[in-house]
Amino acid sequence: MHSPKHSDYDFLSSIELFIVDQADAMLQQNWEHVEHIFEYMNLQPRETHGCDFSRVRKWNLDQRARFLRQTLVFTAYLTPELNGLFSMHMHNVAGKVKVAPTSTGALLDVGQQVQLRQTFTRYNSVSPASDPDDRFKHFTTAIVPSIVRAAEIANGPAGVLVFIPSYLDFVRVRNYFTSSTSTQNIDVGIVSEYTDVNDVRRARSHFLTGRHAVLLYTGRAHHFRRYLIKGVKKVVMYALPENSIFYTEIVGGFLGSAVAEGKVDAAEANVKALFSRWDGLALERVVGTERVGRMMSDKGGDTFDFR
């Protein structure tokens, strides 16, 4: 990309109708590109480009085009990024509206496939900016010890699948597993969107046979590849997926298949999912609209079990 000094954004100045279709798919790619376009839309051109100004609408000359632009965004689900667009870049004088349906929750879909324990743990997070650090701290202090115990006492493959939606979080967790003394005796497999095909095949095979006790699996790898992971006995959701279908496919599919095939007893199979006060949208799609309010504000405890 050319530097901003030499880039030409004037062609975005006269946009009157802007449609973002399948925004949820764009979120799985590089969302900064979408934000970049919004930031440079309807700005005053820096050059005349041979324009006949007698034919230019007055609101364009007055730099008020963004208040008359119609913006339509279509998405399968809402996310903080989309809410950010709604708040920062939609200023039409006629107003704006956001339509979001209620959700029964992916828990019901999983319950129709398999009966197993699903535990949601709320951790304290002061602000969205500190949330990644707060999540990592809770994971390493409260979740990793249980993963280590499962790997040490397992009679056969431990089969712990750690699902990590964000690649940045994935890199942090991967580095922890490979460098921390607390996990030095655990063999870990890796499947991300950047993992070579042969390495993915090897990691999945080693996880199935038990050579790898833990498999780190990213959200984008699942979005783009939809790998079928076998050998899963426990699932840890480092963070809830924005797309609740992922929860159904991983818990009801990967873990549910292992239970149905007799690879693991339903009483031993379980899911642990982490969430904070900033994960309300993703949590609602998993547990349902009726439950999410209580889980976000309940002062009686931070752990919620479902079957």
CATH (domain of 113): 3.40.50.300
Alpha carbon distance 229, 107 (integer Å): 20
Alpha carbon distance 187, 246 (integer Å): 25
Q: Is residue 94 domain-resident?
A: no
- Average pLDDT in the chain: 92
Do 69 and 164 reside in the same domain of the chain? no
User: Which pLDDT does position 117 carry in this prediction?
Assistant: 93
Q: Higher-confidence residue: 53 or 81?
A: 81
Domain boundary among 58, 88, 118: 88
Do 119 and 243 reside in the same domain of the chain? yes
Q: Is residue 95 domain-resident?
A: no
Instruction: Express as a percent the part of the chain with pLDDT over 70.
Output: 97
Six-digit token pair at 171?
């890199």
User: Which pLDDT does position 227 carry in this prediction?
Assistant: 95
Do 177 and 49 reside in the same domain of the chain? no
Do 126 and 238 reside in the same domain of the chain? yes
At residue 55 the predicted structure's pLDDT band, cuts being 50, 70 and 90, is confident
Q: Higher-confidence residue: 132 or 11?
A: 132
Do 196 and 57 reside in the same domain of the chain? no
Q: Is residue 97 domain-resident?
A: no
Do 170 and 233 reside in the same domain of the chain? yes
- Tally the domains of the chain: 2
pLDDT tens for residues 144-163? Answer: 999 998 888 765 678 999 99
Q: Flag the least confident range among 2-6, 162-166, 184-188, 261-265.
A: 2-6
Do 230 and 141 reside in the same domain of the chain? yes
Q: Is residue 3 domain-resident?
A: no
Do 78 and 120 reside in the same domain of the chain? no
User: Which pLDDT does position 192 carry in this prediction?
Assistant: 97
Mean predicted confidence (pLDDT) in 165-171: 97
pLDDT tens for residues 198-230? Answer: 999 999 999 999 999 999 999 999 999 999 999
Q: Is residue 93 domain-resident?
A: no
User: Which pLDDT does position 1 carry in this prediction?
Assistant: 45
Do 45 and 153 reside in the same domain of the chain? no
Q: Is residue 101 domain-resident?
A: no
User: Which pLDDT does position 154 carry in this prediction?
Assistant: 64
pLDDT above 90 for 62: no
User: Which pLDDT does position 2 carry in this prediction?
Assistant: 47
Do 36 and 123 reside in the same domain of the chain? no
pLDDT above 60 for 6: no
Which domain, by its residues, includes 44?
10-88
User: Of 58-62, 107-111, 180-184, where does the model show the most confidence?
Assistant: 180-184
Mean predicted confidence (pLDDT) in 69-91: 95
Q: Is residue 4 domain-resident?
A: no
pLDDT tens for residues 79-89? Answer: 999 999 999 99
Do 32 and 111 reside in the same domain of the chain? no
Q: Is residue 98 domain-resident?
A: no
Do 239 and 116 reside in the same domain of the chain? yes
